[in-house]
Chains A and B, each alone.
Chain A
Amino acid sequence: MKKLSKKTLNKSFRNWYYGHLTCFSQEHMQTFGYLCAMLPIIEELYDTKEEQKEALETYKAFFNTEPQLGTVIVGVTVGLEEAKANGEGVTGDTINGLRAGLMGPIAGIGDSLVVGVLIPLLLGIALGLSTDGSPVGAIFYIIAWNLIVTLGMRMLYFKGYEFGGKAVEFLTGDKAMALRESIMMLGSMVIGAVAASWVSVNTVFKMINAETGEAFLDLNAQINSVLPKGLTAAFVLFCWYMIAKKKMSPIKVMLLLVVIAFVGVLIGFFDPQLAY
């Protein structure tokens, strides 16, 4: 009965933690990172070069997922490879089928939770701490993110190894879905607060009474009396509509904003009021 040593598992985890994207290409995104993570495992489980080469074949297939959450897949396959070496009826095809089946769903969950909520949340807090140009916010982000992600990835790897398929069920099960939905709710509230604190769109549009020279309509003040920062909210909604509903790429929306800004400046709607 072969049992992987703690040292080998640690080495495999470190190789994944560092190397999952270092040799990225469009053709084989995380394949080489995966191979490097499996190599120490395979070298310990199989004695001859031929066996090792045959075992490595499995991991030559294309692989790409959200690398942080995707650590659980690596952990699970390490467990399966061990079972395979012990002749427990697991084949390379089983492992590859599982890998291919998991990378999509895990990428979806990882992109929305890690990149969509966790990072913006930490950055949002960090931005608040760095308002006056103090380094505290940046330092907070460096510590908080690395602590969470390193411990999190370690846990995912070893739980994946320990529990196999059950670990994946745990991540995609009912309770996890409820938790995910709640975290996304927290995320959207924080993003709302980030937008209101950090984005500021204003207009200088005024209607001036020709006789007295006084403004009788100050559009910016009017909008803010209805909803503070209303113009900012309107522009965020406009961009969201263009990207999510009209399927426009972010680059095109940026170019559209350049046009809007140009026209706006020309007709006197926008004016940053600059001078040397």
Chain B
Amino acid sequence: MTINVFQAGLLGLFACLASMPGMGGSAIGNYTLGRPLVAGLVVGIILGDVRTGILVGAAMQLLYIALVTPGGTVSADVRAVSYIGIPLAMLALKSYGLDAASADGNGLATSFGAMVGTLGTVLFYGTATMNLIWQHIGWEAIEKGEFKKLYLVDMGLPWISHIVCSFLPTFIICLAGAGMVDTIKAVLPMDGLAMKTIFTVGSLLPCVGIAILLKQIILKGVDFIPFFVGFALAAALNINLVVATIIAAMFAYMNYQIKCAQLIRVKVPSQDIEDEEEDI
């Protein structure tokens, strides 16, 4: 399996659309095309192997399921994970002869995702810094009263930042990908300590993704109870996610009803006290 110039170019274009301050807008770009699962489909179509693409994308998605970026502090930018990590991991899987659906295939894919994630952070800061130039042009345009120029500044010029920081890195790395994977393969034998560690790390890393999410939604110790109910449903009873969501919705509904009932109850006594005061 190799990546040709045309394919690498397409991957580069999608990287421009999908990155965090990306040209696809955040709903369609970052939150749709940027999600590794969706990118798995896109890359799969571009490289002509949808099944492997989806499986690799799904494995990486888990690592980045909770990519919350509060205040623009980005821990890992998805453009690199999705449009550099997935193609490279697909090449590596083919090269090693691993099935993407196997646990080992998953581990390899996740490790690649984490490795290129760090590269993404560099690209993110590069883009954001370059955008300062366009913003400067924008301020001058407002001073001069050329308001229409704002559209060019906001939606046109950042393309240049992306050609430099998204398109070119993706294009070059993907094009060199097959050679890079072969080198890695020659240097690191499968049953060696390094490869064993990479695969083990791959199986441990999704725990970080889940933990980042838990940090968002667990505010106190008892909040772990619903988490473990969900965990037990899937781990012990082998209930799938759709059914687990339905059961969870029932609990959430009951919780909402109780909270609303409490809101009413809080109001009623205060009413009574007022009435008594009036009687006196």
Residue of A nearest to B245 (CB): A190
Contact in complex: A56, B201 (CB < 8 Å): no
Classify the secondary structure of A's interface with B.
helix
Contact in complex: A233, B196 (CB < 8 Å): no
- Stretch in B29-37, B165-173, B174-182 with 4+ CB within 8 Å of A: B29-37
Query: In the complex, which of the residues A15, A244, A253 contacts B218, with contact meaning CB atoms closer than 8 Å?
Result: A244
Residue B234 is within 8 A (CB to CB) of chain A in the complex: yes
Query: In the complex, which of the residues A117, A229, A260, A272 contacts B107, with contact meaning CB atoms closer than 8 Å?
Result: A272
Produce 1/0 per residue, A2-31, CB < 8 A to B: 000000000000010111111111111101
Query: CA of A58 to CA of B240 in the docked complex: distance in angstroms?
Result: 51
| Tally of contacts, chain A with chain B, CB under 8 A | 385
Query: In the complex, which of the residues A21, A135, A194, A242 contacts B21, with contact meaning CB atoms closer than 8 Å?
Result: A21
Question: Knowing A116-B217, A133-B54, A254-B205 touch, does A193 contact B142 (C-beta < 8 A)?
Answer: no
Chain B interface residue count, CB cutoff 8 Å, equals 119
Residue B38 is within 8 A (CB to CB) of chain A in the complex: yes
Query: CA of A111 to CA of B67 in the docked complex: distance in angstroms?
Result: 10
Residues of A within 8 Å of B253, CB to CB, are: 182
Classify the secondary structure of B's interface with A.
helix
Residues of A within 8 Å of B50, CB to CB, are: 133, 135
Contact in complex: B200, A272 (CB < 8 Å): yes
Residue numbers of B with Cβ under 8 A of A are 20-23, 25-28, 30-32, 35, 37-38, 40-41, 44, 50-52, 54-55, 57-58, 61-62, 65-72, 75-76, 96-97, 100-101, 103-104, 107, 114, 118, 125, 127-129, 131-132, 134-135, 138-139, 142, 145, 147, 150-151, 153-155, 157-158, 190-191, 193, 195-197, 199-201, 203-208, 210-218, 223-224, 226-236, 239-242, 244-245, 247-249, 251-253, 255-256, 259-260, 263
By Cβ-Cβ distance, the 6 closest A-B pairs, closest first, are A192-B230, A24-B21, A178-B259, A239-B211, A196-B234, A189-B230
